[in-house]
Structure 1
Amino acid sequence: MTYDVLTLGRISVDVYPNDIGVSLADVNTFGKYLGGSATNVAVAAARHGRATGVITKVGDDDFGTFLERELDRYNVDRSQVTRDADLQTPVTFCAILPPDDFPLYFYGRFPMAPDWNINTSDIDLDAVKNAKIFWSTVTGLSREPSRSAQLAAYGARPTSSLTEGQFTILDLDYRPMFWDSVEQAREQVTAALASATVAIGNDTECTVAVGEGTPDEQADRLLDAGVQIAVVKLGPEGVMAKTRTERVVSAPVPVQTANGLGAGDSFGGAFCHGLLSGWPLEQVLDYANAAGAIVASKVACSDAMPTPEEVNDLLAQRGRTVPTSQKDLV
């Protein structure tokens, strides 16, 4: 199978409260969802009609079964999802305290989680080589053997330019609890950037990757590190992308925030769709911003990933350009 988007990385059961605006101590009922950044990106891309797959690992337990069923429901290929007989499927709890407080609590991830126990032998390197987009995250670099497996996947990727229709995207997704130090993270990210075509991160994540500075300075350093598109999220000011010849900024798409988690993964899946559709970079960012905004306006993450029709409707409502050309790059 040739994938439009193939992701590698974290998977978990996300347990979100049905009671909004209170601490977990006061929540009475919860909902259960598929989660994990790389997996959510695959779901998001599939919602845009893309042939997607995920490389990850679950525990040999009922929660692993739940996640496999959810991947099937979302039309994400799981032929490279394996089971670990010795580790439990992680569960992630979140409190939902709008408008901007959504703390995460990771259970079953430390000291080791199945998706950190991915080996190179678990990966179909030919599928990685041929995928139009290969998406991975910094989280996978924080432990062995997943670090070596992720680097091996990079080694399978062809050296490509932006005109050849293949992209290796590194999600800078830095979470301090997964690392011993910022210095350790920066060392691993620096090595990974040499294999990436695109890097995506917010201010904190870019600071870990290339040091403090203005968004333009950070984007320039990412370009110097080897990527061809540097995407720096600007928070309430939107998102900026730079290449060696272009700089574009997309303003945020305003919505009422219900849950900020998952918006970045929705952005990522839509960004992949836009790249593969061959749209101008500004339209790619606008479309991805709108997709992220839709998920931010809802409580769930994977269940809330929008279709192109939903994204285009929101763009039209906000007076933004709705992309019309969807000629895939090959």
Structure 2
Amino acid sequence: MTHELLTIGRISVDIYPNDIGVGLEDVTSFGKYLGGSPSNVAVAAARHGRRTGVITRTGDDPFGQYLHRELEKFGVDDSFVSPVPGLQTPATFCAIQPPHDFPLYFYGRFPTAPDLQIKADDLDTDAIRNAGIFWSTVTGLCQEPSREAHIKAHEARPRTGLAEGQYTVLDLDYRPMFWASEEEAREQVARILPHVTVAIGNDQECSVAVGPGTPDEQADRLLDAGVEIAVVKLGPEGVMAKTRTERVVSAPVPVETVNGLGAGDSFGGAFVHGLLSGWPLAQVLDYANAAGAIVASRLSCADAMPTPAEVTSLLAERGRLVPGAVPGTPIPEGAAL
């Protein structure tokens, strides 16, 4: 099978509280979900009807079996997911204190995690080369052998322009607890950026990758490093995307936030769908913004990823242009464009 999206990197079991607005010490019950940013992005794109797969590793334990089952449930190819004997599948806890406080606590990732044991020699480079979009994160560069595997995977990708419709995406996804310093992370990002066509990150992540500055300055540095589309998330001001010939900004889609942790992954899966659909960049951003907002209004991440009908409905409700629709034309109920 040729994947429309193939991701590589982190996977975990997310343990999210059913009690909202309290610290973990006061939570009385939890729910269990598939987690890990690249895995969530694969789930999100699968919800939009895309053929997706993930390259990762789990512990050889019941939680690892659970993650295989969840990937299968969501329609994500798990044939590149293998166990690591002697390591446990990581679990990630969070407290949910809307609207802005969602601290994460990582268990089973130190000194290493199974998904950091992805090895270069085990990669299916043909599958990586042929995927419509290949998606990785900066976290995968934080440790060997995962770092070497990520470099090899990116070197296997064809270097194509936007017109060819094949993209290599780097989620700048910087998490300081996985790195010795920002300088170390910046050094590794610099190695991989020449192989990247799309880079996505918020202000802090872009600062780690290419240095501090305004969103436009950071986008320009990413473009100078070889990226074709630089996406800089602007927080409450929305998101900006910049190419060498175009600059577009998508305003935020306001919702009542329940859990903001999965919004970025939902954005990523919808962004992939928009790129593969060949939409104008402004419409890709609007669609991805709406998809992210929907997940922010829900409790979980993977289980909360929206369908195309849900995204187009929200866009229409907020007066935004639905991709593929003629301005002013009502959207049929249940439309999935």
Name the TM-score class by shorter chain: over 0.9
Give, as a single letter, the amino acid of the residue that structure 2 aligns with 1:272: V
Q: Does the alignment pair 1:286 with 2:286?
A: yes
* Structure 2 CA distance for aligned equivalents of residues 265 and 152 of structure 1: 24
SS state at 1:34 partner: strand
Give, as a single letter, the amino acid of the residue that structure 2 aligns with 1:118: I
SS state at 1:28 partner: coil
Q: Does the alignment pair 1:191 with 2:191?
A: yes
Give, as a single letter, the amino acid of the residue that structure 2 aligns with 1:305: M
The correspondence of residues 241-256 of structure 1 with structure 2, limited to 5 A, is 241-256=241-256
User: 1:260, CA displacement in angstroms?
Assistant: 0.5
* Structure 2 CA distance for aligned equivalents of residues 303 and 225 of structure 1: 36
User: 1:86, CA displacement in angstroms?
Assistant: 1.6
> What is the aligned partner in structure 2 of residue 267 from structure 1?
267
The correspondence of residues 1-330 of structure 1 with structure 2, limited to 5 A, is 1-324=1-324
Q: Is the 8 A contact 1:80 1:122 kept in 2?
A: no
**1:13-34 alpha-carbon deviations (Å, 9 max, x no partner):** 0000000000000000000000
User: 1:121, CA displacement in angstroms?
Assistant: 2.5
Tell me how large the CA RMSD over aligned residues is. 0.6
User: 1:123, CA displacement in angstroms?
Assistant: 1.6
* Structure 1 CA distance for aligned equivalents of residues 323 and 223 of structure 2: 27
* Structure 2 CA distance for aligned equivalents of residues 123 and 139 of structure 1: 18
Taking structure 1 as the reference length, what is the TM-score of the superposition?
Answer: 0.98
* Structure 2 CA distance for aligned equivalents of residues 191 and 38 of structure 1: 20
Give, as a single letter, the amino acid of the residue that structure 2 aligns with 1:273: H
Q: Is the 8 A contact 1:82 1:122 kept in 2?
A: no
* Structure 2 CA distance for aligned equivalents of residues 111 and 311 of structure 1: 40
User: 1:131, CA displacement in angstroms?
Assistant: 0.2
SS state at 1:89 partner: coil
User: 1:263, CA displacement in angstroms?
Assistant: 0.3
* Structure 1 CA distance for aligned equivalents of residues 315 and 208 of structure 2: 33
Q: Is the 8 A contact 1:60 1:88 kept in 2?
A: yes
Give, as a single letter, the amino acid of the residue that structure 1 aligns with 2:149: A
* Structure 2 CA distance for aligned equivalents of residues 299 and 35 of structure 1: 13
* Structure 1 CA distance for aligned equivalents of residues 245 and 209 of structure 2: 22
Unaligned 5+ segments in structure 2 are 326-337
**1:134-186 alpha-carbon deviations (Å, 9 max, x no partner):** 00000000000000000000111011000001000000000000000000000
Q: Is the 8 A contact 1:14 1:32 kept in 2?
A: yes
**1:290-315 alpha-carbon deviations (Å, 9 max, x no partner):** 00000000010000000000000000
* Structure 2 CA distance for aligned equivalents of residues 152 and 87 of structure 1: 24
Identity %, equivalent residues: 74
* Structure 1 CA distance for aligned equivalents of residues 111 and 59 of structure 2: 14
**1:271-326 alpha-carbon deviations (Å, 9 max, x no partner):** 0000000000000000000000000000100000000000000000000000117x
SS state at 2:43 partner: helix
Give, as a single letter, the amino acid of the residue that structure 1 aligns with 2:198: V
User: 1:122, CA displacement in angstroms?
Assistant: 2.6
Give, as a single letter, the amino acid of the residue that structure 2 aligns with 1:269: G
* Structure 2 CA distance for aligned equivalents of residues 190 and 121 of structure 1: 23
* Structure 1 CA distance for aligned equivalents of residues 83 and 3 of structure 2: 22
Q: How many residues align?
A: 325
